Amino acid sequence: MKQLLYKEWREHFKTALIGLAIFALLLTLQVRSGATQLQNFALGGDSQSLASWVQPLLSDALLKEAVFFCAIFGALLGWLQIQAEKHPDLRAFLLHRPVARTTLLWSKLICGAGLYALGAGVPLAGLVIYAVTPGHVAAPFEWAMVLPGLNAFLLGLVFYAAGLLTALRPARWYGSRMFGLAPALIAWGCLFELPEFWQSLAVIGLAGAILGVAVWGGFQTGGDYSNQAWPGRLSLSIVCALAGIILCGGAAVILAKTISPSQPERYCYYQLTRDGGVYRVSKEGLGPVNIVDLNGHPLLDKKTGKTIRREAFDKLRPASISTWVSFLRPWRDGERNWNRWYCNRLRYYMPWQQADKTLWYLTRAGRLAGYDAVTRRPVGVLVPDNDSGNESLAGSRFAWPENYSRPNDFESYNNQPRLLASARSLYLVDVENRTVKPLVSAGQEGGIGGYSADYDQDEVLVVTRDFIRLMNLEGATELQITNEPTRPGGSTTITVSRLETTNQFAVELVDFQRSHQIQWVRAGNEIQWVRGVSDIMRRQQLPPLPEIQWDFSVEQGCLLIIPTAVRMSLKWIVCANFVADHAYDKWDALSLIPVGFSILMGWSLGRRLHFTLRDQAAWAGFNLIFGIPGLLAFLSVQEWPAKAICPHCKRLRRVDREHCEYCGGEFNPPERNGTEIFEPLPAAGGAGTLD
Amino acid sequence: MNDAPVIQTRGLTRYYGAKAVVQDLNLEVMRGSVFAFLGRNGSGKTTAIRMLLGLLAPTRGGGSLLGCDIRALTPAVRARIGYLTEEHQLYGWMTVREIGEFQAAFYPRWHPKIFTGVIGHFGLRPGLRVKELSRGQRAGLALALTLAPDPELLILDDPALGLDPVARRSLVESMIYLTRRSDRTIFFSSHNLGDVERVADQIAVLDYSVLRVCCSLETFRGSVREVLLRFAGAPPPLPPIPGLLQAFRTDHELRLTCVHYNRETEQALRQLAPVSLELPPLGLEDAFISYLGERGEKSFILAEPEVES
């Protein structure tokens, strides 16, 4: 084993060194790019897109580059480890070692992993050390920020296994040799699309395990399928079926995009006007925009006397301010927030403001942390004022602003303090003077559900469990009405519009309810007309709007090629009963047709090749799960033996079986031509033949 | 001595696509023999050897090596088999010393003296890299790596391929050295019949995937005969002759090569009324070339010039 490890190490050490040099260079360039931007900002330049560079561990560009490199490097290393010994004689020299083939494979894997760690892991470790060391990165650091890079590294190991399999597997069709890459490509696709690290890790682990077993099976037999043990055969079949899913899915999407008609424009919503009127605006396909009042009468243009046009109607909109109100907060109620995935910097901090060469971040601990752009070290922390005693339950922390307009970039200070809320209070935060001034307190039983500010208009809308208040930044109240949150699990959009009559407002409350964990659906719509500060003149529940129906039958028809089991799994994993009305159930049922076709085709081909009943049943089960991609896998992995005429029954029989499938007869020995020279075996110490 | 065959195959067959490369090979090689495996290029020798060593799966049939199924040769059995590949492919980046150390680590019965002796015989310095060696030197190194573990069974796939006469002689001497121990078995394929004649006591011939010959060298030499028939005029057409390999026709002669020449063959030939019938001696190389050459009748009679009227 030691000699084998040494051989592998020596053989591919150069590749690892080249990989190390390239990756280190790529990472250095990326880090330098971020450092240069920070330097420019420190010298007085702007901070545009600085947020995406300042923490290299979470830089999108750097992570993409790292994933790309790790995938290519891993696949290349794995491929080279087999390809270097592809010459039959050299391969024979290796395989004729008096050691088990599993030992030979382990030596390759251990050394390959070590070399991969050298080429890809060392530069990544260097990056982490750089980011951890104070004075390098002017941004908060948590060890969890290392996880995206770690997953990129681990993904490369999956590609390494894919490279091994690609080099090992003899392929019959042009291009099907690349099928081995399919699980790795799927893992790549999932890498940054799953919210949690462990989910990506699970996909990587699963893909790695499938590929690992397929590599083991292939190495035992030199790539032959039929002589492998069943785990190897099953894994290779799954690998090829996954490749089939990618191919079929890609083909279906391209076909759907090519032949499906463009969807007509459809919408329907309520709109207030400055005079306090409520109108329903709707459009269906190529038809005109319908603008009607609640009784269904069209709104006429006062100038022309004709039905008003959309452009003219939009001019009737009142000035308004709105906020999204939810009493669910990720760190309070455990609500899943799909925007804060483990690889997204918003999970750890939000770039907040920049003032006087200091970058301020709202961390997930609910604190504003300032970093000096010149020294790249922390300069201070701002927390909510705890004097009122209101923060005892939620801790002394700022809540995440739901409707912050620039979550990916720093906002300039411009001598303007900004609003931030804790669980129970709204504060005016001045980062330059480092002060936190309470503006609104919701009291012990209340809570800040949402707020919005128009700093130019000196206007703040704040919603608590008890009230809806419109005020200015000095704290003077213009409007305050009672809030009646009816659905604690739901959310509301509240819009306060100033009507043309002085001191009159319209407050529109649109309730939304979570539909099956993912989608917000409109659950109610109410408008209150208010005079003065709190005099509600009128309130009206608006009738429910019709749901827009989209026709995706062409797309769904094309996607029938995706096997039923995979469709259902994807729905279960990704969408979690996404479609409430089960509109697509019929498509799921229809997708059984190609699955049935695959089973029949597989069964028919198996019969023609005289598979055993057990093999037939196994392939039927496989095709039941994987459908058309399963059939592709069947066709690509299965070796098709030649056939010859049976000397006894004269029917075509497989040449790889001792006995005829039809008559049970054996093959005849090769025909004699009268020139044979055989002699009986000598008793000992000589040679001879059996004839 | 154990009388069980060292190599035994039963109906060993391999197809590449629809083409049978080795057909129904039944072979037994006894301990202590030097067995030459002969055939033209593409006749299936290398494929058969790779199947024997479990490096290639047979399409059907099977066999055993040192009593172990060829589909599942254990490391312990492999340690008893030395295998020299056809093109002597080795790791080019290793030095002669390194590759010796690499090989030695796997074989408990490694004999450094044999290794040193053989590489010395081929004039190899331990510090040379394999990629810097000539083909002959590489063959010598491969042979040293094969012999030094002191294998019970030596399988050599055309070991002299591409070697100059001096290197080939060294290789043959090394083989002779090995066969001084009677319990060692050598199974080798070759195109060089001089080498075969020097060291082999048994031969097998694959004729385009089919085993046609398996006997001692003497039997083969005795079975293939050349017959020279002289005629007063043009030789008459040949009747069907059993075992006929080749026939060359000239103006007044008919030169035949056939196997199993016997009284019946002679009677059939005498019916052609030749002026004389001779049986000239036939060397192994000529016998082998006749055996594996193109079958049937050839004519060396020049076409008669057209007579101008």
In whole angstroms, give the CA distance from residue A508 to residue B65. Answer: 89
Inter-chain residue contact B291 with A641, CB threshold 8 Å? no
Residues comprising chain B, all counted: 309
Q: How far is CA B257 from the centre of its chain?
A: 21
Measured CA to CA in angstroms, residue A136 lies from A74, B118, B167 at distances of 29, 62, 66
B65 lies in some domain? yes
How far does A162 lie from chain B, in Å, by closest CA? 23
How many domains does chain A fold into? Answer: 2
Going by their DSSP bridges, the two strands A278-284 and A266-272 should be labelled as antiparallel
Going by C-beta distance under 8 Å and a sequence separation of 6 or more, which residues neighbour residue A387? none
What is the DSSP secondary structure assignment for residue B118, as one 8-state letter? Answer: H
Measured CA to CA in angstroms, residue A12 lies from A93, A117, A169 at distances of 18, 13, 21
**Which residues does chain A have within 8 Å of residue B214's beta carbon, measured at their own beta carbons?**
677-679, 687-689
DSSP B245-282: EEEEE-SSEEEEEEES--HHHHHHHHTT--SEEE----
**Residue A220 and residue A343 in one domain:** no
Beta bridge partners of B298: B248
The pLDDT score that the predictor gives to residue A406 is 66
B72 lies in some domain? yes
**Residue B18 and residue B163 in one domain:** yes
**Residue A498 and residue A385 in one domain:** yes
Single out the residue in B179, B208, B237 at which a domain terminates.
Answer: B208
Cβ within 8 Å of A, B 36-95: 50, 53, 55-57, 59-61, 75-76, 78-79, 81, 83, 85-91, 93-94
Cβ within 8 Å of A, B 128-167: none
A353 lies in some domain? yes
How far does A407 lie from chain B, in Å, by closest CA? 56
The tens digit of pLDDT for each residue in B28-72 reads 888 888 888 988 888 889 999 999 999 988 999 999 998 899 988
**Residue B127 and residue B260 in one domain:** no
Going by their DSSP bridges, the two strands B296-299 and B244-249 should be labelled as parallel
The pLDDT score that the predictor gives to residue A490 is 64
CA dihedral A610, A613, A614, A617 (to 10 degrees): 100
Q: Determine if the pTM surpasses 0.90.
A: no
A676 lies in some domain? no
**Which residues does chain B have within 8 Å of residue A657's beta carbon, measured at their own beta carbons?**
60
Share of chain B above pLDDT 70, in %: 92
Query: Which contacts (CB < 8 Å, 24+ apart) does range B294-299 have?
Result: B294/B246, B295/B244, B295/B245, B295/B246, B296/B246, B296/B247, B297/B238, B297/B246, B297/B247, B297/B248, B297/B249, B298/B246, B298/B247, B298/B248, B298/B249, B299/B248, B299/B249, B299/B250
**Backbone phi and psi for residue A454, each to the nearest 5 degrees, phi listed first:** -115, 95
Inter-chain residue contact B30 with A681, CB threshold 8 Å? yes
DSSP A253-318: HHHHHHHSPPPPPEEEEEEE-TTS-EEEEEEETTSPPEEEETTSPBPBPTTTSSBPPHHHHHTTPP
The pLDDT score that the predictor gives to residue A392 is 47
A49 lies in some domain? yes
How far does B60 lie from chain A, in Å, by closest CA? 5
CB B155 within 8 A of CB B49: yes
**Backbone phi and psi for residue B192, each to the nearest 5 degrees, phi listed first:** -95, 105
A595 lies in some domain? no
Q: Across the beta sheet with A519-531, what order do the strands follow? A: A319-326, A491-498, A504-515, A519-531, A535-541
The tens digit of pLDDT for each residue in B68-122 reads 999 888 999 999 899 988 888 889 889 999 999 999 999 888 889 888 988 888 8
Tell me which of B7, B102, B225, B291 to substitute to probe the interface with A (most A C-beta atoms closer than 10 Å): B102
Single out the residue in A198, A228, A258 at which a domain terminates.
Answer: A228
Inter-chain residue contact B57 with A682, CB threshold 8 Å? no
How many domains does chain B fold into? Answer: 2
Inter-chain residue contact B30 with A11, CB threshold 8 Å? no
B196 lies in some domain? yes
With a cut of 50, list the residues of chain A below it in pLDDT: 330-336, 338, 387-394, 516-518, 576-581, 683-691
**Residue B99 and residue B229 in one domain:** no
Range of the domain at B121: 7-208
Inter-chain residue contact A98 with B102, CB threshold 8 Å? no
The pLDDT score that the predictor gives to residue B178 is 67
How far does B78 lie from chain A, in Å, by closest CA? 5
Going by C-beta distance under 8 Å and a sequence separation of 6 or more, which residues neighbour residue B240? none
- Which of these, A46, A109, A585, lies nearest to A354 by C-alpha position? A46
B304 lies in some domain? no
- Which of these, A148, A146, A161, lies nearest to A205 by C-alpha position? A161
Inter-chain residue contact A679 with B89, CB threshold 8 Å? no
**Residue B234 and residue B128 in one domain:** no
CB B284 within 8 A of CB B197: yes
**Residue A211 and residue A355 in one domain:** no
Inter-chain residue contact A11 with B60, CB threshold 8 Å? no
Tell me which of A6, A655, A675, A690 to substitute to probe the interface with B (most B C-beta atoms closer than 10 Å): A675
**Residue B78 and residue B149 in one domain:** yes
**Which residues does chain B have within 8 Å of residue A676's beta carbon, measured at their own beta carbons?**
212-213, 259
Residues comprising chain A, all counted: 691
**Residue B170 and residue B280 in one domain:** no
Its ipTM equals: 0.85
Burial status of residue B101 (CB atoms within 10 A of its CB: 0-12, 13-18, 19 or more): middle
Single out the residue in A520, A541, A562 at which a domain terminates.
Answer: A541
CATH number at residue B42: 3.40.50.300
The tens digit of pLDDT for each residue in B169-215 reads 777 777 777 666 667 888 988 887 777 888 888 889 888 888 888 88
With an 8 Å Cβ cutoff, is B242 touching chain A? Answer: yes
What is the DSSP secondary structure assignment for residue A169, as one 8-state letter? Answer: -
B21 lies in some domain? yes
**Residue B204 and residue B225 in one domain:** no
In whole angstroms, give the CA distance from residue A369 to residue A594. Answer: 57
B102 lies in some domain? yes
**Residue B131 and residue B274 in one domain:** no
Beta bridge partners of A293: A279
**Residue B202 and residue B284 in one domain:** no
How far does A561 lie from chain B, in Å, by closest CA? 32
Three-state DSSP state, B230: strand
A670 lies in some domain? no
- Which of these, B58, B64, B206, B71, lies nearest to A655 by C-alpha position? B58
Share of chain B above pLDDT 90, in %: 14
**Which residues does chain A have within 8 Å of residue B213's beta carbon, measured at their own beta carbons?**
676-678
Number of H helices, E strands in chain A: 17, 24
Query: Which contacts (CB < 8 Å, 24+ apart) does range B160-169 have?
Result: B160/B190, B160/B191, B160/B192, B160/B195, B161/B86, B161/B87, B161/B191, B162/B135, B162/B136, B163/B135, B163/B136, B163/B139, B164/B136, B166/B136, B167/B122, B167/B136, B167/B137, B167/B139, B167/B140, B168/B192, B168/B195
Range of the domain at A449: 322-541
In whole angstroms, give the CA distance from residue B16 to residue B58. Answer: 10
- Which of these, A203, A184, A222, lies nearest to A71 by C-alpha position? A184
Residue whose token pair is 């002779």: B176
Inter-chain residue contact A684 with B245, CB threshold 8 Å? no
Single out the residue in A173, A200, A228 at which a domain terminates.
Answer: A228
Q: State both tokens at A42.
A: 């420190």
The pLDDT score that the predictor gives to residue A216 is 94
- Dihedral (CA of B101, B107, B110, B115) sign: negative
